[in-house]
Amino acid sequence: MVKQGQISLLIPSTIFIAFLVVPISAKNPLFIFGDSILDAGNNNYIQTTSFAQANFYPYGITFFNFPTGRFSDGRLICDFIAKYANLPLILPFLQPDNGLINGVNFASAGAGALVQTYPGLVINLHEQLRNYKKVESKFRYKFGDVKARKRLTKAVYMFSIGGNDYSSSSTFLTNYPKSEYVDMVIGNITFVITEIYKTGGRKFAFLNVPPLGCMPMARISSIDGDCIKEPLSYAILHNKALSYVLKELQIKLPGFKYSLYDFYTSLQQRIDHPSNYGYKEGKVACCGTGRFRGIMSCGERRPVKYYELCENMKDYVFWDSAHLTEKTYKQLADEMWNLRSYGSYNIKDLFH
């Protein structure tokens, strides 16, 4: 749990199986919270650094044919999940005329569960919760209290958060023992979940934290090019704690259901065995420069202007130094839709 006085509670060997994905008829809204894994363009509308934005070429070149603010060459996991749930693309909260009825995307690239993670540059998890409560109020105004709560209860709440809390360069990270720091991150996530639960939310879908030390941007600081152990250790501790907390919430909160997708393991398998999943390269990014193309230079809008762009992004697991190609996101979305990594639900179950 979060300890008072430390942080504010008011706070982004395997063979690939091709799943048959059949969209189902659904009226369940999808609300999306998190970081760059799920940000569909909220950071286009805030004053931040170019590191936290992807609204320039060559981002978005495959599916959209223009940059949308997504950190990929195309669609993200949440875009595919919306498609499989028979929903349109879920638009960013800050995008004018974003609709709201089918759900809202609150995610912000660079966001963490802690307010101390990139403060002032991102929409942190507490701010995302505050934006959700604005939408809740609009639902109540539009549908009335009873119908609004019913709609919010039918909704699915999707999260990818925590990675930036452990990869932030802030000295705040080093001020606490590992286990205590992880407890603070998990405590803030738990607070947000319970606040959404109070509004009627019952169905939650989570991605755990990926193998942070194996990203191209992490490998460049390794002499031998191996994964960096320190961020990996934080990710492992976080994922164990998240799994435990969700089981506890399922016991304590009546009607609480969750899906927890093992993002860490699924991505690690593709990094280590790319050919098993239809890739030629699992460690080098498609877009960037330096070793493993691990320097965040994709698009010439960042301090390092020079970048290289691969010929075929479908050969690559990674799009840039910290994010994945559309092909990878689709594979992961297919698994998240169908597989039950932890608990008794997959995200398809939640939409039923």
pLDDT, position 26 = 41
> How many other CB atoms are found less than 10 A from the CB of residue 303?
10
Alpha-carbon span 88 to 238, nearest angstrom: 32
Place of tokens 């999943």: 277
Listed residue (235, 95, 96, 217) closest to 160, CA to CA: 235
Lowest-confidence range among 25-34, 150-159, 287-296, 307-316? 25-34
What pLDDT digit, counting tens, does each position of 158-178 carry? 999 999 999 876 668 888 999
Per-domain boundaries in the chain? 30-264+326-351
Query: Average pLDDT for residues 303-320, to the nearest whole number?
Result: 97
Q: Is the pLDDT of residue 12 over 80?
A: no
Entry pTM = 0.91
The DSSP code for 91 is P
pLDDT digits (tens, 9 = 90+) for 223-273: 999 999 999 999 999 999 999 999 999 999 999 999 999 999 999 999 999
Does residue 122 contact residue 110 with C-beta atoms inside 8 Å? yes
Return the pLDDT at 167.
87
Residues taking part in catalysis: 36, 320, 323
Please give the structure tokens belonging to residue 269.
């398998």
Res 145 pLDDT > 80:
yes
Q: How distant, in Å, are the alpha carbons of 134, 198, 262 from that of 90?
A: 17, 23, 23
pLDDT grade, residue 11 (50/70/90)?
A: very low
Read off the tokens for 137: 């109020």
pLDDT at 14: 37
Checking if the pLDDT of 48 tops 80, the result is yes
Query: What's the burial of 251, exposed, middle or buried (CB within 10 Å: 0-12/13-18/19+)?
Result: exposed
- The closest alpha carbon to 280, from 316, 308, 312, 325, belongs to 316
pLDDT band at 1 (very low <50, low <70, confident <90, very high): very low
Choosing among 1.20.120, 3.90.25, 2.60.40, 3.40.50, the CATH entry for 30-264+326-351 is 3.40.50
Instruction: Give the C-alpha separation, 310 to 66, whole Å.
Output: 17
* pLDDT value for 25: 37
pLDDT tens column, 54-99: 999 999 999 999 999 999 999 999 999 999 999 999 999 999 887 7
